[in-house]
Structure 1
Amino acid sequence: MSSDLANPAANSTPASPAAAEPITLDNCASEPIRIPGSIQRHGFLLGLDEAQERVVLASENTEEFLRTPLKLILGAPYVHLFERELSAVIYRQSCMSDPDGMVSYLGAFRIHNDLFSVVTHCVEGKRLLEFELQDRLVGSEMMNTVITNFVATLSKLETEIELADAVTQQVAALTGFDRVMLYCFDEEGNGTVLSEANSGLLPSYLNLHFPASDIPQQARELYVLNTVRIIPNGSYEPSPLRSLDGAPHIVDLSLSVLRSVSPIHLEYMRNMGTASSMSISILSEGRLWGLISGHHAEPRMVPFLVRSACDMLSKLVGTQLTTFRTAARLQTLTNFHAVQRELLTHIAAQFDYIGGLSSQMDLTRQVTDASGAVLWVDGDFQQIGITPDKASVARIVEWLDSQPNMELYETRYLGGVLPWTSEIADVAAGMLAIRVSDIRQKYILWFRPELVHTVDWAGEPVKLSGPNDRLNPRKSFESWSQTFRGQAKRWSTAEIESAREFRAAITTVSLRRAEEEAELSTARFEQLTHALPEKIFTADDDGRIQYVNDRWREAGLSEGGCWYSEGRLAAEDEERIKTLWREHVQSGQLFEEEVRLLTGKDHAPRWNLVRAVPFMRRGAARAGWVGSMIDLTERRERETALRMTEKLALTGRMTSVIAHEINNPLESITNLLYLIRHDLPTTSDAMQYIGQAESELERISGITKQTLRWSRENSGGAESFTADAVFNDVLRLFHGKIRNRHVTAEVRGGEGIEIQGIQGQIRQVIANLVANAIDAARVGGKVWMDARFLTDDIVEIRVGDDGVGMTPETVRQLFQPFFSTKGDLGNGLGLYISHEIVERHGGELHVDTEPGRGTVMRILLPRVTKVRTESGADGLPGKSA
């Protein structure tokens, strides 16, 4: 279990190299691990002043890599230290625009024939530059392939173990470590190794446990902030940080990739027999769920881009874990709600609700999935399952009575509160209790027996101290077993909430029992359903609605007819639900399905989970069904938005990298054509071909530059140009495609129509629309363009085709990222980017279409354009982080 803090309080290099003090049991946990004052030696670090011009901070080993004395580096302008290309990249960074916590990868550069990955971030308004020595160059296509393949694998995984095995094997293949482990943390912070890939050179820790004390809280917080940690050589000597005056320098290195680690941790690594290690945090729902830890028997370096790929994999794993847990949580809540409704249905059929509870003790037990349940009413004792005897329960109730403000109480270790209960731990180690009345002695208590279990630790989890109370990491990681007694299985959040909801329901029922029986029965049911956030209805076996609550009415749903008809459900769902409802009526089983419910004045479809349970009259005759509808739309949208955000972020980074790499060979080809031109006679026929080639290269260069601008949201200034000039440029661009498709393309207007904006971006939009029109047009069909002044202040640009048109459903999703009607031939980003460009120009993008009658795309632009930047200010698009 590799960590920067590998012991009960361990982690540390001194805050100042000149002021080192022994690490003891008293000061270790509070050691300032974020400001170690030094870095590892597989790279060097520079800090620039607030003007981002001169070096004011450097690691001592900088002079080894730059081959320049440290005193000449400190205070020098950074442009004097590096080649022009690297200096230009650094110049474009700005702490004014970089958000806090953002680490940027600037690229791979050679310095004195050594290859370095350059990473930067800002701390307190100053820029830190980290140069990490690389043993090889990693291509961007590797990251794309790995991420794409892993995303495809995710859809086939059904359990957390399968997910853990998949990512462990992938990280091992990427990094080449001898041992890669994935372990998750329990509520106490102890780690369990769920998966391991092992070459056989290091011992296996699969299924072993590591104590929470191995990683103190401050280290866990750092794992959330900085998710990847690499130690290429555990025997390194730290390189201190120096200021302009040569004195030690203290700076927050929380986000640093080179940050030095605790000597205690390095000793911990040596005790484990590992010479190098890497850790990757797995975050789920905002907390540290676990770590992927790689170990190697020899020093080993993993390039920054490979680590970034591993980090991306861990984020995908975290998202999938959230999906798994959300689905499991929803299923658990569904089961508990079904039990509660069935129980409440029985209670509602009887005037004496206590009698109803006592006759349904097994359902009462299921409210929390307990081993046993007790209903205690003024000394009357009703029980089911594994519970203490009446005398023991009486003593527990007496203690509960002494807690006047207690409505719900839960513990997995009752012996810790009531020591005498250790004698009955075999039936009541854990307890969950609710107080049903503040006037009478009414309680429902749920019990669980102790869970005697043995934990196999990776070494005995004890604190070791040496001379002068110096903290030492343990030296043995041999399997060590420990048996735990007296504690029950933990009550889950869903179980506790189920008990709390049930208490609220029971309380509501009891308050209504003062009225007449008939009126009370109706009032109680209505009060309960109106208090619930779900849409509630009752129906007979034919599905005809008999009752609805306020949430139903607020959703704009009608109160008559069958609940699944009358235009309430999407047409695609109505017949399916009708058939399923009949099947459930015949079986009498719980009905549960997800449907698209048409709600509100606009009848917009929203996903809802429909659950309906039968309720019975006395004599076991079915009286009807109680149903609920829970809106799932926001949850689905959040999951979709999360996936879309990750895809857009990855697409942006990959687009920038690809466009950047294209520019280098283009420049070489342009130079070669220039040399050829001067070697040929001016009258040569080849000069014409060279001119055409140079024109095409210039166009390609423009496209790649525009791509880079888009990905960085950094464009040139607004300018004036005419619509017909852009139309002609676009037609030349698609000349070959138009000819191959046998499509007639024509410009119907636009001469002299002036457009103001960023010409490259407007051309990109029109080219995208024309490309789509050519694809949509029939073979031998027509594509046309025109422009006109719609009003004195608005220019309208139109691109049309005579194709098959689009359905309303397609139009609704048209401008969503990654939506495409072209299958594998489209990436679904063209219209999304076009829509963004037009909006930044203060304009609008509309579609007029009808199935079978073609499509017309209309761009509306103001005659005087102020291009909106990402921050929303008027002006030219600014540089973005």
Structure 2
Amino acid sequence: MPGRIQAHGFLVVIRPDDFVIVQASENTHILSGIPVQELIGKRVDALLANTNVNGSSLLEIINVALRNRQPDSLNPYRLEINNEPANIILHVHDGALVLEFEPTDDLSNGFLLQQRVAQALADVQASRTMDELLNSAARKVKDLTGYDRVMIYRFSEDWHGHVVAEEKEDHLEPFLGLHYPASDIPRQARELYKINLVRCITDVNQESIPIYPVLYADRKKPFDLTHSVLRAVSPIHIEYLKNMGVQSSMSISLMYRGELWGLIACHHYSPRFIDYPTRMSAKFIAQLLSASLEFRKNEDDLAFWRQIRNQEQVLQEQMLRDWDIKKGLLDHPVTALDINSAIGVAVSLNGEVHTLGKTPSPEQVKDIIEWIKLTSTDTILQTSQLPNLMQGAETYREVASGLLVIELSRELDEYILWFKPERITQVDWAGNPDKPVTVDASGEARISPRKSFEKWTQEVRNQSEPWREVEIATALKLREDILQIINQKANHIRILNEQLRVAYEELDAFSYTVSHDLRTPLSSVKSYSEIILEEYSDELNDDVQDLLNKIIAASDRMTSLIRNILHYSRMGRTELNAQMLDMASMLTILREEIVATEKSRALQLIIKNTPPVYGDHTMVLQIFSNLLSNAVKYTRDKQPAIVIVDGIEHDREVTYSVQDNGIGIDMRQAGKMFELFKRLENAQDYEGSGVGLAILKRILGRHNGKVWFDSEPNRQTTFYVSFPKPVQSQ
């Protein structure tokens, strides 16, 4: 609530340079005995002239806070007001120092708080399951705060909430398992929960206190109370709590990878104040829970990742051994159903649809492919609610509410499709989730808080379990494996033949221009320089001779460059100059060049295993130069930036990975990565043309290799490139 605070405390805003009060809550006369209008413009020592804390005056407290780079890290500052213990909480914001005064409990309870927090840590570590973990955290927060009800409330992808743990007084009706609509906690409120991890409402029936004056200094707007612990709450939220019968509440944010995972929501059915140290102890328990959630989620993801990646490797070996994509995917004990949680898979190849498991009929699969071609240009597509997107898909929603697709060839209708079944759920809402709309006396419509919280059951259909990031990444890797095999088969030439003919004609014209139009004048420049140097050497001073020698050397370098360009332009038609390459030497030189140009950054470029690769030196060098340059570029904002290169030797191929901790890639846009001139949305602020990865993929195609990647936005990206071993070394 802009410009107002809760009534149990006091707020004062001062200028740090001269300690003059510029704003204060209207109830500060209780502290100073001076009307707030007269207090504005006075130094802060006029507020509490006789207030002391451990022998220090209020001015000394402020001086200590201002000398500290993070004054809020020293909160709370203990003092007495009218012989009663109190806390002062300080923070700096918008060029001002904010002082907030709150009552506090008995000063001797610090040891008890430490004991309870230590016990909470032990219980979290001892929890064996997710349910145990959540229930233990709810129980500890209730013991610590004394609220009537403590719930752990988890957000779903659509921001609806679900009560997943609860501790309450015996006489209260349980809320465990109930869902709450996203509109109960709107987007702007969720953004504040990411900034203020703890929010407390002491008494919903108390009138909030205005701040005087309304406008802050000369800025012609109210002071920003984003970081205030006393900030008043939206009247709509107060009305919402009253409708629930709640008179005081506290919420503590639960974070996962920087985003809001859920809340610890505390309710009390009479006014209740929780002092600052107790709130911070509850916050610490929430942070322990958040850290444990992330750790357990990472463990689960890693185990699932290892399982399906091993199966994907088996699929690749089966397809290579059979030299048949359909057989390798569907006709062995390990099938395309073993790389994700789908119940059915359809493979559309050579005009035929082959299915395994529970799937729509082949004709329905063809309808889905036509819908994909009309609605998406991406090479990979996923949804967990196909019946809501595609007309007619409701008829087979029992087996295909979830869809994951990789495109092999749009022209030939060649796709692989995985299906997940409909997950019919009975969602128990805390009242009808639709917000009522009322009309006030002026005739304006107003969204009102819900008044009913009785259990209201809704059946949700047409949806499946969502696809996990690792499932999408593995499907992308499988697509690269399949395309590698297709590229080795002669039937792929019939699609590319016309495109290649045009490209070759343009390439021949380019080669002719370079070899004739550039080489001739370049040879003249070199020849004339040599003639001058030879015929007039006695008349030329040393500086002129040195310049002529440099011209001759530069001409030689340009001639070599033209020769290399011509060689590269013909790479699609000529044999590669393939040999076993010393990757340790190549990568070390690249690292030295990159580190030398990035001296101003905290950059760690780590090279691990470097098995040799069989390939063309110039082209392989270009591949790794491109990958390392991208990794360094997209970690520009990381401190430190970490890039790790590692190689693994397999029976048939050598695979290298280049991992960074940069901006990451949304796997839902993965299909665009290797298309010419395509750039993702989160890379728009970084210099680039969208050509590098397309060229890299073409070079790997010439080597019968492949490239794929997996990524998590804002955490990491790992690109993989693989090179087949030469026949004689197998």
Q: Same fold (TM over 0.5)?
A: yes
Q: Could you tell which deviates more after superposition, 507-516 or 36-45?
A: 507-516
Q: 1:484 aligns with which of 436, 453, 460?
A: 460
Residues 1:306 and 2:359 are matched in the alignment: no
Residues 387 and 427, structure 1, Cα contact 8 Å, conserved in 2: yes
Deviations 1:368-391 (A, max 9, x none): 220100011132121111111111
Residues 1:42 and 2:12 are matched in the alignment: no
Aligned partner of 1:274 in structure 2 is 246
Q: 1:332 aligns with which of 287, 300, 304?
A: 304
Aligned partner of 2:424 in structure 1 is 452
Is the helix fraction higher in 1 or 2? Answer: 2
1:250 Cα deviation (Å)?
A: 0.9
1:149 Cα deviation (Å)?
A: 2.4
Equivalent residue of 2:360, what SS?
A: coil
Aligned partner of 2:135 in structure 1 is 165
Aligned partner of 2:21 in structure 1 is 55
Equivalent residue of 1:477, what SS?
A: coil
Percent identity over paired residues: 31
Amino acid aligned to 2:62: Y
Residues 608 and 645, structure 2, Cα contact 8 Å, conserved in 1: no
Instruction: Rate the CA distance shift 1:233–1:136 in 2: closer, same or farther, 3 A.
Output: farther
Deviations 1:104-134 (A, max 9, x none): 5142210112322111111211001000122
Unaligned residue ranges in structure 1 (runs of 5+): 1-12, 14-35, 517-522, 531-552, 560-606, 614-623, 636-881
Aligned partner of 1:542 in structure 2 is none
Residues 113 and 144, structure 2, Cα contact 8 Å, conserved in 1: no
Instruction: Rate the CA distance shift 1:86–1:221 in 2: closer, same or farther, 3 A.
Output: farther
Alignment of 1:227-266 (within 5 A): 227-243=197-213, 250-266=222-238
Amino acid aligned to 2:388: G
Aligned partner of 1:419 in structure 2 is 391
Amino acid aligned to 2:10: F
Residues 1:182 and 2:152 are matched in the alignment: yes
Equivalent residue of 1:142, what SS?
A: helix
Q: 1:502 aligns with which of 478, 484, 488?
A: 478
Residues 103 and 121, structure 1, Cα contact 8 Å, conserved in 2: no
Residues 182 and 196, structure 1, Cα contact 8 Å, conserved in 2: yes
Equivalent residue of 2:75, what SS?
A: strand
Residues 1:92 and 2:63 are matched in the alignment: yes
TM-score w.r.t. length of structure 1: 0.54
Residues 431 and 445, structure 1, Cα contact 8 Å, conserved in 2: yes
2 CA distance for matches of 1:45 and 1:458? 36
Residues 1:398 and 2:370 are matched in the alignment: yes
Instruction: Rate the CA distance shift 1:185–1:163 in 2: closer, same or farther, 3 A.
Output: same
Amino acid aligned to 1:506: I
Residues 611 and 647, structure 2, Cα contact 8 Å, conserved in 1: no
Residues 1:315 and 2:281 are matched in the alignment: no
2 CA distance for matches of 1:152 and 1:70? 48
Aligned partner of 2:608 in structure 1 is 555
Q: 2:177 aligns with which of 197, 202, 207?
A: 207
Equivalent residue of 1:223, what SS?
A: helix
1 CA distance for matches of 2:413 and 2:419? 19
Residues 1:370 and 2:423 are matched in the alignment: no
2 CA distance for matches of 1:425 and 1:410? 15
Q: 2:436 aligns with which of 455, 464, 473?
A: 464
Residues 1:112 and 2:88 are matched in the alignment: no
1 CA distance for matches of 2:112 and 2:332? 61
Instruction: Rate the CA distance shift 1:165–1:629 in 2: closer, same or farther, 3 A.
Output: farther
TM-score w.r.t. length of structure 2: 0.65
Q: 1:142 aligns with which of 112, 115, 139?
A: 112
Deviations 1:396-433 (A, max 9, x none): 12223335732011111212322111122122222111
2 CA distance for matches of 1:411 and 1:404? 12
1:632 Cα deviation (Å)?
A: 12
Q: 1:430 aligns with which of 385, 398, 402?
A: 402
Unaligned residue ranges in structure 2 (runs of 5+): 493-575, 584-605, 613-643, 663-730
1:457 Cα deviation (Å)?
A: 0.7
Amino acid aligned to 1:69: P
Equivalent residue of 2:476, what SS?
A: helix
Aligned partner of 2:46 in structure 1 is 80
Instruction: Rate the CA distance shift 1:262–1:201 in 2: closer, same or farther, 3 A.
Output: farther
Residues 1:357 and 2:326 are matched in the alignment: no
Amino acid aligned to 1:41: A
Instruction: Rate the CA distance shift 1:65–1:465 in 2: closer, same or farther, 3 A.
Output: farther
Equivalent residue of 1:92, what SS?
A: helix
Amino acid aligned to 1:446: W
Instruction: Rate the CA distance shift 1:114–1:424 in 2: closer, same or farther, 3 A.
Output: same
1:278 Cα deviation (Å)?
A: 0.7
Residues 4 and 209, structure 2, Cα contact 8 Å, conserved in 1: yes
Equivalent residue of 2:99, what SS?
A: strand
1:489 Cα deviation (Å)?
A: 1.8
Amino acid aligned to 1:475: K
Residues 1:193 and 2:159 are matched in the alignment: no
1:262 Cα deviation (Å)?
A: 1.3
1:394 Cα deviation (Å)?
A: 1.4
2 CA distance for matches of 1:609 and 1:278? 48
2 CA distance for matches of 1:401 and 1:102? 56
Aligned partner of 1:679 in structure 2 is none
1 CA distance for matches of 2:94 and 2:660? 41
2 CA distance for matches of 1:336 and 1:322? 21
2 CA distance for matches of 1:304 and 1:507? 60
Q: 1:493 aligns with which of 469, 473, 484?
A: 469
2 CA distance for matches of 1:279 and 1:335? 38
Amino acid aligned to 1:105: N
Residues 1:474 and 2:453 are matched in the alignment: no
Instruction: Report the count of equivalent residues.
Output: 511
RMSD (Å) for aligned C-alpha atoms? 3.4
Amino acid aligned to 1:169: R
Deviations 1:42-80 (A, max 9, x none): 000000024151111100011123333223322221123
1:436 Cα deviation (Å)?
A: 1.5
